[in-house]
Structure 1
Amino acid sequence: MTEPVRLSKRVVEIAGCSRSEAEQYVQGGWVRVDGVVVEEPQFKVTDQRVELDPEARLEPAEPAPLVLHKPAGLPSAEAIALATPAHRWDEDPSGWRVHKRHFAHQAAALPLEDAASGLLVLSQDGRVLRRLAEDAAKLEQEFIVDVEGELAPYGWNRLSHGTSFDGWPVAPFKVSWQSEQRLRFAIKGVRPGLLQYLCNEVGLHALSLRRIRLGRIPLSKMPPGQWRYLPPSERF
């Protein structure tokens, strides 16, 4: 039996490339061992059949941002665990190939409250996370809020013309009825409890919250618990 060697070393032998290029091929999902894609350069092989995809391209391992539909009742930090190949949305329009490296060290940007559902952005890039946190006050978010109760007299005028929350003024926002028991908010500077507070102030009780847009990024029709890639062409 052949002495075990690193997969990247075997790729060097069959492709005539450098070690760093071999590692990029492996991490890019272009190498199969006995017909199965292996993405770990340190994987040990002996007599197995190692193949480099004829369409293999040398590409840097860029961070992969994701858009996840967080289910209600699940903390944002725990919802990250849904970012696995099995939960990818079948209608993901990005066309990106799935790699194991895409799911390591993901973190949530602008987390949702535990009880809320909807659009959650995940990123491996600390720069993206910091930028979104810094832009939170000026980034418009769109929520659908199911409510119960009866709107107080003059409540709509009070709701739509601004108020304060925790001693701070609430930036002007748009609110409209989507149905008899459903409100749509387009609002900036969202903080935990803000939407519930706004509803309570006018005699309504918020039953559920769902974020359907963050900046210019929409949730679309993606089902709860599924995710899609967020390519660079989509900007907040």
Structure 2
Amino acid sequence: MNSKVASDVHNPSKNAVSTAKRLNKYISESGFCSRREADKLIEQNRVKINGQLPQLGTKVLPGDVVLVDGKTIKASATNKSDRIYIAYHKPIGITCTTERHIKGNIIDAIGHKERIFPIGRLDKPSEGLIFLTSDGDIVNKILRAENAHDKEYIVTVDKPLNERFIERMARGVPVLDTVTKPCKVSMESRYVFKIILNQGLNRQIRRMCEFLGYEVTKLKRTRIMSVELGELKPGQWRNLKPAEMAQIQAAVAHSTKTATINAE
């Protein structure tokens, strides 16, 4: 990689240091993608600052021209008034990817006029609530483990439930070389239970059920933090309300560790 950007072009004065912003943060705040995806773009030499290839960690200064694949990336509005935040009822069969060449991708399914991307994921055979946004910075914050965000699921299994199953699920079971954290589980009917997690291991609920000898036949996420799926039908979406955004912003104010919302 060309280190000239970091050494020659970016040798900011003391007055400019306070307004300098890390490149991945600048790109994510613009709504182009998440910080993690921005790092990948930088590593793939698809990003330029003032016509030169930057390094990871390079700072963007006022007046710098940032391009991704030749497209100018504009700085975000200070108050983020230009950002999109939506709640979507992902149907079964839709894949949570921004890769447009993949059939049934979530971006084409929604058809939003602005560039947005999902926060976390739901497996293709699962349905329910997922957030999408054009604010890459909040993606980074929501996906951090220490926020311990509640996520509520309604799960249907292939055989009758019993108290032992509910107790074991709530206490924690071994999956992926660890033991799941204690969680809230309640029986809704003979084959259906509700589970509230603040953990996001890959396919966590399905793996927990498999360990106990059950197979998930239907899984729906009904809540993330304070946001309910409510009356949204599969395929429908709505903008998050100001009160919901205020609660989310308060919940992510002290993030420190990265994880994912993909516990299905």
TM-score (norm. length: structure 2): 0.56
For residues 211 and 127 of structure 1, the distance between their equivalents in structure 2, rounded to whole angstroms, comes to 24
Q: Does 1:211 align with 2:221?
A: yes
Q: Does 1:63 align with 2:90?
A: no
Which of 145-154 and 182-191 deviates more? Answer: 145-154
For residues 204 and 165 of structure 2, the distance between their equivalents in structure 1, rounded to whole angstroms, comes to 16
Q: Which has the higher strand share?
A: 1
2:108 is matched with which residue?
A: 81
Q: Tell me the CA shift for residue 171 of structure 1.
A: 1.3
Q: Tell me the CA shift for residue 106 of structure 1.
A: 0.1
Task: Give the number of the structure whose alpha-carbon radius of gyration is greater.
Answer: 1
Aligned residues: 161
1:110–1:120 contact (8 Å) kept in structure 2: yes
Distance 1:193 1:231, change over 3 A: same
2:202 is matched with which residue?
A: 192
For residues 131 and 210 of structure 2, the distance between their equivalents in structure 1, rounded to whole angstroms, comes to 28
1:202 to 195, 201, 212: 212
Q: Tell me the CA shift for residue 128 of structure 1.
A: 1.0
Q: Does 1:126 align with 2:153?
A: no
1:83–1:103 contact (8 Å) kept in structure 2: no
Which of 216-225 and 128-137 deviates more? Answer: 128-137
Q: Does 1:222 align with 2:236?
A: no
1:152–1:203 contact (8 Å) kept in structure 2: no
1:113–1:192 contact (8 Å) kept in structure 2: no
For residues 110 and 67 of structure 1, the distance between their equivalents in structure 2, rounded to whole angstroms, comes to 12
1:94 is matched with which residue?
A: none
The 3-state SS of whatever aligns with 2:188 is: strand
Q: Tell me the CA shift for residue 136 of structure 1.
A: 7.2
Map 1:38-187 → 2, pairs under 5 A: 61-77=81-97, 78-84=105-111, 103-135=113-145, 138-151=148-161, 154-187=164-197
In structure 2, list runs of 5 or more residues that go unmatched: 1-78, 98-104, 249-264
1:80–1:122 contact (8 Å) kept in structure 2: no
For residues 80 and 181 of structure 2, the distance between their equivalents in structure 1, rounded to whole angstroms, comes to 41
For residues 175 and 195 of structure 1, the distance between their equivalents in structure 2, rounded to whole angstroms, comes to 11
Which of 160-169 and 120-129 deviates more? Answer: 160-169
- Structural RMSD (CA): 2.2
For residues 198 and 137 of structure 1, the distance between their equivalents in structure 2, rounded to whole angstroms, comes to 22
1:130-166 CA distance string (max 9 Å, x none)? 1111147611100111111244784333222112221
The 3-state SS of whatever aligns with 2:94 is: coil
2:169–2:183 contact (8 Å) kept in structure 1: no
The 3-state SS of whatever aligns with 1:76 is: coil
Question: What amino acid sits opposite 2:148 in the alignment?
Answer: K
Question: What amino acid sits opposite 2:108 in the alignment?
Answer: A
For residues 155 and 231 of structure 1, the distance between their equivalents in structure 2, rounded to whole angstroms, comes to 37
For residues 204 and 60 of structure 1, the distance between their equivalents in structure 2, rounded to whole angstroms, comes to 45
Q: Tell me the CA shift for residue 194 of structure 1.
A: 1.1
Distance 1:73 1:136, change over 3 A: farther
4+ residue segments displaced more than 6 Å: none
Question: What amino acid sits opposite 2:175 in the alignment?
Answer: F
The 3-state SS of whatever aligns with 1:208 is: strand
Distance 1:137 1:75, change over 3 A: farther
